[in-house]
């Protein structure tokens, strides 16, 4: 099921326009190249890559959890609709009373 939800995520997700953020990343990357030796640069870049992967996984997980919550709510609402446990009031407009209020009287 998660593969199906991942496919849904991929079809609906539209990346944000992060032009300014990408430019800032590139500027900082150039500063790293100038100030750090190669082993330190590699370590920092591996940290950034790992953080990017975890952010992507969190985004997908959030989508899946939200979808499952919406599905559960829709199922629950459908259950109530089918059982007709809360009939609508027949009276409409100012002074209308719900079925719950009528039952209390």
User: Is the confidence at residue 103, as pLDDT, over 60?
Assistant: no
Rounded to whole angstroms, how far apart are CA atoms 10 and 6? 6
Q: Cα(first)–Cα(last) distance of the chain, in Å?
A: 49
Rounded to whole angstroms, how far apart are CA atoms 60 and 39? 32
If phi > 0 it is left, if psi is from -120 to 50 it is alpha, else beta; for residue 16 that is beta
User: Is the confidence at residue 102, as pLDDT, over 70?
Assistant: no
What mean pLDDT comes out for the span 17-38? 89
pLDDT score of 90: 52
Calculate the CA 15 to chain-centre distance. 13
Q: Using an 8 Å Cβ cutoff, are 52 and 44 in contact?
A: no
Predicted model pTM: 0.56
Calculate the CA 36 to chain-centre distance. 37
94 band by pLDDT with thresholds 50, 70 and 90: low
Question: What are the sequence ranges of the domains in the chain?
Answer: 1-10+37-84
pLDDT one-digit tens code per residue, 32-91: 888 999 899 899 889 989 999 999 999 999 989 998 999 988 888 887 777 665 555 555
């Amino acid at each position: 099921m998660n593969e199906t939800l991942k496919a849904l995520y991929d079809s609906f997700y539209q990346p944000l326009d992060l032009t300014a953020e990408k430019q800032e990343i590139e500027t900082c990357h150039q500063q790293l190249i100038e100030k750090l030796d190669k082993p330190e640069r590699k370590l920092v870049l591996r940290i950034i890559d790992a953080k990017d992967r975890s952010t992507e996984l969190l985004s997908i997980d959030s989508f899946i959890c939200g979808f499952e919550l919406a599905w559960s709510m829709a199922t629950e609402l459908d259950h109530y609709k089918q059982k007709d446990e809360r009939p609508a009031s027949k009276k409409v407009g100012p002074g209308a009373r719900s079925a719950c209020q009528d039952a209390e009287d």
